Structure 1
Amino acid sequence: MTAPRPGGARRTVACVGAGPAGLLAATRIKTARPDWHVVVHERAPKDVTYGYGVVFSDIAVRTIAFMVPSLGAVLASQVTWQDVEVRANGRRHRSGGHGYIALSRHRLLAELAGQALDAGVELRYETPVAVDALRSRYDLVVAADGARSRTRSALAAELGARVRYGRSRFVWLGTSAVFDAMTFIFEETPEGLAIAHGYPHGDGRSTFVVEVPCSSDGPGNGAAAGGGPDGRMREELERALDHWSRVFAEHLYHRPLLAKDLRWAHFPTVHLDRCVHENVVLIGDAAHTAHYSVGSGTRLALEDAFLLGRALERDDDLGTALAEYERRRLPGVQELRVAGERSMRWFERAPVFLERPAPQFAVHLLSRASLPSLEKVEADAPELVEEAKRELAGGTPLPSAGILALPLEVGAVRLPGRLVREGGSGGSWCEDCEDQRYGCLLATADGPADTGPAWQHLPRGTVVVAERVPLVDRAGAAPPLVVIDMGPCPTDPAQATAGAEALVAAAHTAGWPMSPAVAVRTGFTDVGGTAVGGAVSNPGGEALLARLRVMRSAGLCDLVDLAARSGGPAEPDALLDVLEHADTVRSALGVPIMLSGFQARPDQIATHVLAGRIDAWCVSAPD
């Protein structure tokens, strides 16, 4: 711990919640300011915990060891593993090189409580409190009262708090079956797909989270989130526990599931505009959440506590210290919070993804919230990647140039590779095409006047004609390709549908389609109507699908080109957003997907081609 700093007024501090955030915050504050009176209020009885294991990545452990060396030493002696295992469709695939450490939540809280007592913190269990009462009695209130924070609810307007709930239901369980990897299990049941997240945490136990990513009312999915169960509800939940023990019996080695708290819930994603209001500061899950599938919630909570303690140590003025903490911390949690939300949405859509071949599905899961290079994925899971490559190539040998050199069927034509380079002055050519006579010359309806009378009735600026294309059909000829540039998609599905129907009517009046392949290029807008570099803020993309379904039904969509706004941002988040939309469109329409206007390395592109999110990539021309 940092040496105490002398000086400053004597203060009283109330920490609400004896979870990791509350206990460590209390310890850090008391250590930095020994003359302050620090009290932790906890609703639950002493030594009662409702979770099972807590997992940290090896990177998180190094961070924790820096912040709290004594806790780092404890973690160093806990159960460790390197692998992620995916069990789906009767297959098991492993990926190594990840690095995890886990321990029981009871052990973690006992260690943190011991440190708090040693520092001189007062711990009061079975003491429910209200924030209004605490604000008047204490100089500082640290709200660490969890994802369903009563403090946050009481100050929702002042904090700009927004809480959204995931579609899946989940329940936190345990088992005496010991896993040796971070294990994701997908089992079909009569009520729909069930998912389990399992990992060891020592003491001969494993954590086992059951998730139901559908709206069925099957066993175990009928209990409301919220208050503790009793009477008839408890009997129903106990039957549900038996049910899930049977569903996952093979993976549990026929051992029963255990439950400390039989409550099903929807995961809350918490967003705050501010985490400080007057003398109240929110930390941990009360201020932000990270989905359990990325395992970072406790790490963020401990970081919050450490940084809050440091801010209070550095500045004698409470208001200045809290303002500095808020300014630095709110942006700092964004990356993991957003990654958690992406991962949550992936598991919600898992029933759709499970229709893919087993090896492709596993690669899809492993790359769900990041931009990993194919080299890294292959190093971690060589057998999985080799099997997925064979599936992608249809059993034929992969070209020596790799995945991006695989041909792609688009309508009745064939793209000889997956990279298309778009040049200046309307010129484009295929990245893998050696014969530049097949360079793709693009002419818009606002450009050259010789686009032909068949296009004269179409709205100006909406049509791109590829007069010479880098595509060859099975006979070796060079047929034309028509690319329809529809511009950014309206946010209203009805408006998007009407616009597409008008374009289809104009196209049929003009007598087309006249080519073996037609592509649709479309951009995105956010809910406010402003283009955002190819990403869209509403994850469903209902308007986008409505527009493309009209074009597909009319026979005018053999390929979808998801394009970034010209000059728009090219941050990784924008690309990850559009990759989610690509997944949705590809699954819904069954057509190849190309991305245009985004930036990524070829090895990152290859990973997402292998995962089946996209099929081609349009690369910007060099300056």
Structure 2
Amino acid sequence: MNSEKTLVQGRSAIVVGASLSGLMTSLALARAGLEVTLLERSARKSRTGAALPVAEGLLGRLTGQPETGQQSVPSGAQAWTDIHAALRDAVVADARIDFRAPVLVTSVGEDRRSAWVSADGGEVLRADLLVGADGHRSVVRVSVSPDTPDAEFSGYVIWLGLVDESAISSPAWPSDLAILYEGDYCLNAYYLPGEDGSTFTGERRLGWGWYDAGHNELLRRSGVVKGNVVQRSMRPDDMPDSLFKDLARAARHFWPDPWREAILDCLSRRSIIGTPIGEYMPDRLVTERICLVGDAAHLPSPMTGSGFSASAEDAMALGDAIERCDDLGEALRRYEDRRLQAAQGLVRSGRSFSRSFAPRGAAQ
């Protein structure tokens, strides 16, 4: 049965997507005084092996509150899952945020009075502001940029894995990060704190991201890339035995220990995911009542190393604009003025890498 609910008028927002950008934006808007409804289509999130650089005091900047105990995001390189868990805990603890999952948003819209989302169960939610934080295949982006709604496949995939250092017998790498190139491959490998936060040798985790421009036919055959559009990540159940054998053979040939041993460990456990790389260059970020943040707004190659920090800047810029300006339309224009050019520059930088790494890989 269809139902329609109007949220608190005057200071209300709907945020679609509870990945990192959606969590950060919800916190920033709540700090600005809005009542936030955060909608997420998945019951759980997982990014095996992904790592991100985190600025000191990030959560405090988003919430305006000191970071203590579990309500904290440690600075430095951190596992994606750890950052997500800390941000999610902060969202759940915030009385201004109503976090709902799983909720699949099927369409969005706006008029002079409000913005709205329609969910797959027939429910319609309305608020003053609608934020698209729903990633590279954003439903909300279609309303902001209907002529260019899709991110484009860049011609390569990143395989991601994570393993406890205690499971690795090889001596430690002399630095916390390795960036290695071989043929159609590039390996970013890094040490991360252990699950308990320890950074002592032997108690850490080894994460790795393996950029691969040689398996595009498999990506299209499995349906994770259709035409020139990335559909989803590739999970172990999608991966044929031949892929694990190919990657293991290449790892033994190209990569030094301890990264070789870490990769082989993950492959033996089938504990990897593959994310085809898409890129999106924005021409705008807002309409009258709808705006985009994070990967929905601008999708650079992860080789820029700045996607997460850009998403955090989006969240804080939007919250700041809303807090400082009573007129919503003017606040969104200020947000776009502050973030659009920087976002375009970031995507442009990633494209330069993609064109050099996979010059023919995106061809259909």
How does the TM-score come out when normalised to structure 1? Answer: 0.44
Q: Name which of 171, 180, 203 aligns with 1:185.
A: 180
Aligned counterparts of 1:246 and 1:23: Cα–Cα separation in 2:
39
Distance 1:318 1:151, change over 3 A: same
Matched residues, percent identical?
22
Which residue number corresponds to residue 134 of structure 1?
Answer: 117
Q: How does 1:483-498 map to 2 (within 5 A)?
A: none
Which residue number corresponds to residue 82 of structure 2?
Answer: 107
Structure 1 residue 173 and structure 2 residue 172: aligned? no
Verify the 8 A CA contact 2:317 2:338 in the aligned structure 1.
no
Verify the 8 A CA contact 2:136 2:151 in the aligned structure 1.
no
Aligned counterparts of 1:312 and 1:232: Cα–Cα separation in 2:
44
1:181-211 deviations in whole A, cap 9, x for unaligned? Answer: 33122345xxxx3221112222132321122
**What is the CA-CA distance between 1:227 and the residue it aligns to?**
4.4
Which AA in structure 1 matches 2:177? M
**What is the CA-CA distance between 1:319 and the residue it aligns to?**
1.6
Which AA in structure 1 matches 2:42? A
Aligned counterparts of 1:288 and 1:308: Cα–Cα separation in 2:
15
Q: How does 1:24-103 map to 2 (within 5 A)?
A: 24-33=24-33, 36-46=34-44, 48-56=45-53, 61=55, 64=58, 67-68=61-62, 70=66, 74=72, 77=74, 101-103=76-78
Aligned counterparts of 1:221 and 1:254: Cα–Cα separation in 2:
29
Verify the 8 A CA contact 2:39 2:99 in the aligned structure 1.
yes
Q: How does 1:317-328 map to 2 (within 5 A)?
A: 317-328=327-338
SS of the residue aligned with 2:24? Answer: helix
SS of the residue aligned with 2:322? Answer: helix
Distance 1:262 1:244, change over 3 A: farther
Which residue number corresponds to residue 250 of structure 1?
Answer: 256
Verify the 8 A CA contact 1:220 1:243 in the aligned structure 2.
no
Aligned counterparts of 1:257 and 1:304: Cα–Cα separation in 2:
34
**What is the CA-CA distance between 1:349 and the residue it aligns to?**
6.0
Aligned counterparts of 1:148 and 1:215: Cα–Cα separation in 2:
22
Structure 1 residue 125 and structure 2 residue 116: aligned? no
Verify the 8 A CA contact 1:55 1:201 in the aligned structure 2.
no
**What is the CA-CA distance between 1:228 and the residue it aligns to?**
6.0
Distance 1:316 1:249, change over 3 A: same
Verify the 8 A CA contact 2:281 2:347 in the aligned structure 1.
no
1:233-255 deviations in whole A, cap 9, x for unaligned? Answer: 43445555545554556332524
Verify the 8 A CA contact 2:28 2:316 in the aligned structure 1.
yes
Structure 1 residue 263 and structure 2 residue 254: aligned? no
Structure 1 residue 200 and structure 2 residue 191: aligned? yes
Structure 1 residue 300 and structure 2 residue 284: aligned? no
Aligned counterparts of 2:17 and 2:216: Cα–Cα separation in 1:
34
Verify the 8 A CA contact 1:19 1:109 in the aligned structure 2.
yes
Aligned counterparts of 2:138 and 2:309: Cα–Cα separation in 1:
18
**What is the CA-CA distance between 1:103 and the residue it aligns to?**
0.7
SS of the residue aligned with 2:280? Answer: strand
Aligned counterparts of 2:342 and 2:67: Cα–Cα separation in 1:
22
Aligned counterparts of 1:230 and 1:52: Cα–Cα separation in 2:
13
Distance 1:70 1:240, change over 3 A: farther
Which AA in structure 1 matches 2:349? A
Which residue number corresponds to residue 137 of structure 2?
Answer: 148
Which residue number corresponds to residue 151 of structure 2?
Answer: 163
1:470-510 deviations in whole A, cap 9, x for unaligned? Answer: xxxxxxxxxxxxxxxxxxxxxxxxxxxxxxxxxxxxxxxxx
SS of the residue aligned with 1:185? Answer: strand
**What is the CA-CA distance between 1:222 and the residue it aligns to?**
6.2
How does the TM-score come out when normalised to structure 2? Answer: 0.72
Aligned counterparts of 2:151 and 2:328: Cα–Cα separation in 1:
28
Verify the 8 A CA contact 1:212 1:221 in the aligned structure 2.
no
Which shows bigger deviation, 309-318 or 340-349? 340-349
Q: How does 1:218-617 map to 2 (within 5 A)?
A: 223-225=222-224, 226-227=231-232, 233-236=238-241, 237-239=243-245, 242-243=248-249, 245-247=251-253, 250-251=256-257, 252-255=259-262, 256-257=265-266, 262-265=273-276, 267-348=277-358
- Unpaired segments ≥5 residues, structure 1: 1-7, 79-100, 351-623
1:21-68 deviations in whole A, cap 9, x for unaligned? Answer: 1111111111221xx43111112223x322433332xxx726848834
- Unpaired segments ≥5 residues, structure 2: 1-7, 109-115, 119-123, 166-171, 195-203, 225-230
**What is the CA-CA distance between 1:264 and the residue it aligns to?**
4.6
Aligned counterparts of 2:254 and 2:161: Cα–Cα separation in 1:
12
Verify the 8 A CA contact 1:161 1:273 in the aligned structure 2.
no
SS of the residue aligned with 1:254? Answer: helix
Larger-Rg structure: 1
SS of the residue aligned with 2:189? Answer: strand
Aligned counterparts of 2:273 and 2:220: Cα–Cα separation in 1:
11
Distance 1:291 1:221, change over 3 A: same
Aligned counterparts of 1:112 and 1:65: Cα–Cα separation in 2:
7
Which shows bigger deviation, 279-288 or 328-337? 328-337
Verify the 8 A CA contact 1:174 1:257 in the aligned structure 2.
yes
Which AA in structure 2 matches 1:318? L
